[in-house]
Structure 1
Amino acid sequence: MPRAKVSKRPAQQEATAAAPTFLPPLRHRQKSLAVREFLGRSRGSQPLYKQPACRDSVRLHCSQAVRRNNFAVLACLQRSQAVAESLPEACQAAIWQLKFNLTHNEDLRRIKACGREPPRSVLRISCLIEHRANVSERACRSYLRRLEPLVFADYRLVERFIGACKADVVRTGCGRLEPRTNAVSASLPTSQGRTVACLGQKVAVVSHQCRLQLLRLAELQTSDYHNDRPLFYACRDDRERLCGAVSSGGGRVLACLNRQREAARPACQVELARVRGLAALDFAVYRRFADACGADLRRLGCVAPGGEPAGSAAALLCLESSLISKGTTAVTAACQSRMMDVRSDFISDPQLLPGLASGCSRELQRCRADHTAEQGLLHCIMRQLRAARDAQLTDGPGRNSTSACERAVDRVLRVAMPTRDLRVDPVVMSGCAGEVRLHCSAPGTASVYTCLKSRLAAQPETVSVACSNRLAELVYFENRDFRLNARLFKACRAVAAARCGAGETWWSGARDRAAAVALGATFNCLYGLMIRNETSVACSAQLAKSLRERADRARLDARLFAPCLRDLSRLCLHSRRPGDEFACLQDNLSLLDRTCARVVRQVSERVDSDIELSPDLLFVHSCQPFVRKFCDRVQGQVGLDKTVMSCLIQLKAHPKMDPRCRAGVEHHQLVSLRDYHISRDFASACGDDIRRLCSAAEGADAAGEPSSRRNIDKTVVVRCLATAARDDVLKSRPQRLSRKCQGQLSLELLQRHRLPSLDPRLAKSCELELRTLCPLARMAADGSPAFGPPPPPMPPRSPPTAAPRSSSRTRHCRKQKEAADKRDAAAPDPSNQGAVTRCLRDIVASEDDADQAAAVGRPAPPSKSSVLRGQCRSYLRSL
């Protein structure tokens, strides 16, 4: 009896021992007894090593140092799948009974947060683990921490989970969950773990209530990877090999394994993917992210207390919205650091985002066939989309539609935001490592992406093909979704919301309005507003900067691809050199669809103001050195009368101009003949004069556009203004043209004199003469035929010289002409500007001299009138 009395003493103390601080305080001796009790000896439970059913198994598998601690013995017997499956059935039953007793300790009823649960219900233990952080007594917290692996190794102890998922287990074929059986198959943690892991892999098809329980269970498990038995068994060796120096708890081991998952074994990779899939549905499964960002998410209203679990994508978008709209102080530094980890997961495994698997099923199927770790699945999908866009140019927009997949990829990029910080995208960082090291001296910062884009735009020869291809994949989407450019969004969000149907906030959980807008539509709308000067200075500056950093093909230019897809596939399939597609659209302006034609005119107008906005980067790059040296005063300055293009036009004959630049300038001049609005200087200086004096030239437009925006032939307008100026001189009346317009008109007439192709009537009326009598006109600035194929070889002859003029020509006039000819010879004109018109006018002058000589009876000088056709002669005399 005395022995029995002594044996009751710990049991009597157990009722009040080791309680949290809200229980009556205990003396030091009582606390010591309580700690021993909490660390493995439960009332009425005999140690496992003394129970006959388990004695031999404990001696076989567990060291003598741990045999007296039931928690340590349980951990020992469940440390591996082989050991757990080798235990006899009787020992499994004893283990189940011990687990039940440990999780139904009467003292656990005193924790008030779980007081609503029935006293003997296993619901209480889930509640206790969930509220472990609220327990202030160290011994109690230690006890609950040791209970966690026991509970998560036997899901019969989580009654709510079993009730919510039992039907789903049967329906999905994931095994069995029997809450009341003591069978060995039900007690084995490996068997139960496989069942729950199976449900986790099929979480998309399980019932709503079961999904909630799976997510809640995953939240609790990820605090310590030991709690997820399938993960623990699959990754145990990898944990020792890759993360041996990382202590468990707080999600640290799981985070380490995720970072090095490419080096883990396939079985471990499968389990890590399962956990990431659950984390995509519930951000709290990312334990370190939840711990660092939970307070910010609640403060910013990103999660509703007691509401449905928020996915990690939604949590990231909400935090990113606050960072963009309120600045970096809106989110703590610790949270921003953890955001990087989650972003990296979405880049490396884009299928975590719901919708990508279904939207990109075709692309995923192709990528799985040749996917490698170096390529990256997301970038492989981007390449597939790029190939599909090329096919659209061939097959037309009705086939190979990629809109659903493009929207899914756009959402992945908006969640991961590699355009904000390239460190989350290892594919680009690897492909551009050399460029980052040499040219972008702050690796990993938000400026690296902008630095690489600017480098690609300004000096493409310094960027490798691999790097430029990877950047182009990101630039394509950035140019279509202005939210991917944080600077652009911040500067333009107000006008985008008011005028373009975009969301006023970067992201809204209730209704993301911008997501419903077709990719590229917001950007094109903003560009149109910029053309009409209806955006703020800051917004226009960011739009222009974004355009200068874009890729160099029309299919990658958001301004042109969507509106002009049909015309590109119909008219410009032959275009191969970067920039040819835009030039092709300009050359076929009259044949384009109305929407495409309007966009091409708008882009051409903008290029006239700033050549760096041209989609033809070869033209831009060839002109930049000359612009920096000779036109830097007007480059990028607002309010000056002269644009960069007008500077290039006036200096086009300069010997230091790159022939490719000269060819681009002349092509722009030819395009501007289709619509005088394209020449910004001319339209600005003469717009009022045109409306006042040339109303007939404006005419009615079938498109119904305002008269100030109609497509009006520039040659007709120039002829009208020149006629008005001539009539004022002949009639000795004041000039009706404004002084600014007179200057621009003189420049236009001078350019027509220098380049006959700028005068379509001259080129048409005198085509034969230009080819036979003035062969210098055959070659344009780029060396290509300007007026058709070269004529057949002709016998050598001296260049045409002007016949002696009438006696009215004064000696002073002849000296002025000789001086002008010497100046032309001293500064050679590579494109022979002016030589053609001079040649033809000399022929006409010789004809006039012959007529005058015949009239006074003198011998006629040599003349080519026999080959000068009447229509050419008539037009030349009208000039």
Structure 2
Amino acid sequence: MLFTICLTLFVHLSFSNSKTVFGQKAENFEIFLHKSRNRRETPISKKSLIEEIECLPDIKRLCGTLPPNSDDLFVLECVQSFKGNELGGISEGCQHTIWRHTMDLINDANLNNISQRSCGHDLENLKCKVTDRSGTLLACILDHRDNIHSSPCKAFIQRLEWVAFSDFRLIAHFLDACSSNIDKYMCGRLQPSESLTQGQTLACLQQHIDKLDDQCQKQIYHLSEIQADNIIMDRQLYLACINDHSKFCPEIAPGSGNVYKCLMQHKLDRMMSQQCQDQLLRRQKVIARDYRVSKGLARACKEDIKAFHCRRDVSDEKDIRLAQILLCLEGLLRNGTKVTKDCQMEMVEHRKILMEDYRLSPEIVSQCSEDITKFCNGLEVGGKTIHCLMEHTRPRKKRERVSFKCQRAVETLVKEADAGEDWRVDPVLREACKPVVDNSCKDVRGGDARVMSCLMEKLGTDHMTEACELALVQIQYFVARDYKLDPQLYRQCRDDAVRLCHAKKVWADDNASMDPERGPLVLPCLYRYAYHSQKNLKSDVRCTLNSNEYDQGLVHGLIEVNN
């Protein structure tokens, strides 16, 4: 557990966000290192980093007075914990020395040697080959890190990750697969350099994740998954969000993947710094492209995804979009299949993510760019752009409506996020309708559109507010266009819709056989049959129509359009 103690102590100290933190608390390091002298792991270089004359002033300035027996890994952890502007003051000679010691540290032969004490048995089981290169053994260890079980080895590998993720050049597979993309998107210099990049190249490539070559994209997803276990591995986000972590998530230890979730839950808070919001958006874009980058969702829903074949026809090496997984899991719930509670909770959190920022939807970005510029330019994130587009799908005058392709993209997003099922998923609806819910629907349990139904019943009454009504009607317009988005109506009317109105049997469409025009036809069809039937279907459809008629007759409008 020694390395775990070391990592915890280091992270705790680095969170003070001060240049002098190591100096102020150097006595803590002396106590710790005094206990660990017999376990010092010596690098290849004859001198340790702390003994290098070129770096003595810089290390002392950044880390305080460290005991002379501090090993290279420990000193590198200290140096890499500081922000870029703080590291900018390091002399060129010292930067070169730091780079040389870092390369020595991850040299295959040296890494194999220094890791024996903590990881000897685990490394034997991994069958990783030792080459004459730097970074190859490290890359193999990272690829098989889930097969490491001993606590000392896990802690040691975690410390190595902290150093390795500081520079893309330290991870051999990454450099081999991404060299052309690094050049193409100007994410870093390829020639040998001793500058401290602090993970900027990886973060830059994540920003361009949808444009990368297949092999590079595969590496980026893989490294992003590794980062998901510990926010410290995402150097740019970690440094940008240090103060926000302390402000919003003080009870969560920094060396935890739960920090991501906590920060994302506060992303729309006006008190969160812009630089932290920007880094969270970068992270969310990668999650939207491959759900496995979100360890919370991937772990909680692993068995459900496997049991119900949500990765059907997709190999384990291929990325699979978050929206695709959510649609599969939501379809299971709609058809009465039980999904674990933990998985359902993660699904709600990720549906919120999709509704909070239109930039996470590739369809919205590509299909609605002109409409956003025309109708919604200058709006902030937080779902406001999405609701602006919703509002402009309804005007009778064509010049005031969004394009058809944009409307289809919004329809897709509303279904992917299942916005009609839970009022809390949509940030605009949540903020606008919270006073109404607290006053008039406080005893109604969330989910299954129960609160949405309660809110619809309050339309036209003194309990409803103008802001809530507007947001609610914008969502209900899309629910009226696809009866499957109303879970209660879908549950009661599915069989009749399939039998009478040619509706599809499954809740989630297969993209290969999607029929974009069928959805808006189903509810008007049910409407017509409801007035000529004695079945329970009649009263249920009438109830739904009565709720929607307040908005200038949503269903009547659909009937007029389709006739």
- Identify the TM-score tier after normalising by the shorter chain: 0.7 to 0.9
1:200–1:214 contact (8 Å) kept in structure 2? yes
Deviates more, 1:518-527 or 1:196-205: 518-527
Deviates more, 1:431-440 or 1:40-49: 40-49
What is the Cα deviation at residue 70 of structure 1?
A: 2.8
Matched, 1:97 2:105: no
Matched, 1:557 2:560: no
Between the aligned partners of 2:174 and 2:382, the Cα distance in structure 1 is: 40
Between the aligned partners of 2:189 and 2:443, the Cα distance in structure 1 is: 55
Deviates more, 1:301-310 or 1:221-230: 301-310
1:251–1:286 contact (8 Å) kept in structure 2? no
Q: 1:476 to 1:197 in 2, by over 3 A?
A: same
What TM-score do you get using the length of structure 2 for normalisation? 0.82
Between the aligned partners of 2:267 and 2:332, the Cα distance in structure 1 is: 31
Residues 297-349 of structure 1: CA deviation (Å, up to 9, x unaligned): 2232223552412211111111111122134xx22212222222211111111
Partner of 1:472: 473
Q: 1:368 to 1:563 in 2, by over 3 A?
A: closer
Partner of 2:20: none
Between the aligned partners of 1:320 and 1:66, the Cα distance in structure 2 is: 57
**1:475-514 equivalence runs, <5 A:** 475-497=476-498, 500-508=501-509, 511=512, 513=514
What is the Cα deviation at residue 72 of structure 1?
A: 2.9
Give the counterpart letter for 1:99 in structure 2.
T
Between the aligned partners of 1:325 and 1:524, the Cα distance in structure 2 is: 22
Partner of 2:76: 74
2:372–2:389 contact (8 Å) kept in structure 1? yes
Matched, 1:227 2:233: yes
Partner of 1:288: 296
What is the Cα deviation at residue 148 of structure 1?
A: 0.9
What is the Cα deviation at residue 91 of structure 1?
A: 2.7
Partner of 1:546: 544
Q: 1:321 to 1:97 in 2, by over 3 A?
A: same
Partner of 1:144: 157
Between the aligned partners of 2:428 and 2:173, the Cα distance in structure 1 is: 43
Between the aligned partners of 2:290 and 2:382, the Cα distance in structure 1 is: 29
Give the counterpart letter for 2:232 in structure 1.
H
**1:722-871 equivalence runs, <5 A:** none
Give the counterpart letter for 2:221 in structure 1.
L
Matched, 1:202 2:208: yes
Give the counterpart letter for 2:521 in structure 1.
A
Q: CA RMSD in A?
A: 3.0
1:343–1:416 contact (8 Å) kept in structure 2? yes
What is the Cα deviation at residue 87 of structure 1?
A: 2.2
**1:283-682 equivalence runs, <5 A:** 283-303=291-311, 304=314, 306-327=316-337, 330-366=338-374, 368-372=376-380, 376-386=384-394, 389-392=395-398, 400=401, 402-442=403-443, 445-446=446-447, 447-456=450-459, 460-497=461-498, 500-508=501-509, 511=512, 513=514, 516-531=516-531, 533=533, 537-554=535-552, 557-558=554-555, 560-565=556-561, 596=563
What is the Cα deviation at residue 419 of structure 1?
A: 1.8
What TM-score do you get using the length of structure 1 for normalisation? 0.54
Secondary structure of the 1:247 match is coil
Q: 1:87 to 1:552 in 2, by over 3 A?
A: same
Partner of 1:84: 87
What is the Cα deviation at residue 490 of structure 1?
A: 2.5
Unaligned runs of at least 5 residues, structure 2: 1-32
Q: How many residues align?
A: 513
Between the aligned partners of 2:144 and 2:35, the Cα distance in structure 1 is: 21
Between the aligned partners of 1:365 and 1:254, the Cα distance in structure 2 is: 31
Q: 1:365 to 1:200 in 2, by over 3 A?
A: same
Secondary structure of the 2:393 match is helix
Q: 1:510 to 1:564 in 2, by over 3 A?
A: closer
Residues 589-617 of structure 1: CA deviation (Å, up to 9, x unaligned): xxxxxx74xxxxxxxxxxxxxxxxxxxxx
Partner of 1:60: 61
What is the Cα deviation at residue 43 of structure 1?
A: 5.8
Partner of 1:245: 251
Give the counterpart letter for 1:56 in structure 2.
P
Partner of 2:51: 50
What is the Cα deviation at residue 69 of structure 1?
A: 3.9
Between the aligned partners of 2:175 and 2:316, the Cα distance in structure 1 is: 22
Percent pairwise identity: 26
Partner of 1:875: none
Give the counterpart letter for 1:124 in structure 2.
L
Instruction: Please identify the structure whose Cα radius of gyration is greater.
Output: 1
What is the Cα deviation at residue 265 of structure 1?
A: 1.9
Give the counterpart letter for 2:144 in structure 1.
H
Q: 1:337 to 1:95 in 2, by over 3 A?
A: same
Q: 1:343 to 1:539 in 2, by over 3 A?
A: same
Secondary structure of the 1:422 match is coil
Partner of 1:218: 224
Deviates more, 1:162-171 or 1:295-304: 295-304
Give the counterpart letter for 2:151 in structure 1.
R
Between the aligned partners of 1:59 and 1:189, the Cα distance in structure 2 is: 21
Matched, 1:111 2:123: yes
Between the aligned partners of 1:510 and 1:166, the Cα distance in structure 2 is: 34
Deviates more, 1:91-100 or 1:376-385: 91-100
What is the Cα deviation at residue 194 of structure 1?
A: 3.1
What is the Cα deviation at residue 216 of structure 1?
A: 1.6
What is the Cα deviation at residue 184 of structure 1?
A: 2.6
Q: Of 141, 160, 171, which aligns to 1:158?
A: 171
Give the counterpart letter for 1:215 in structure 2.
Y
Between the aligned partners of 1:155 and 1:300, the Cα distance in structure 2 is: 37
Give the counterpart letter for 2:164 in structure 1.
V
Give the counterpart letter for 1:280 in structure 2.
A
Between the aligned partners of 1:40 and 1:331, the Cα distance in structure 2 is: 48
2:358–2:381 contact (8 Å) kept in structure 1? no
Q: 1:375 to 1:350 in 2, by over 3 A?
A: closer
Give the counterpart letter for 1:173 in structure 2.
M
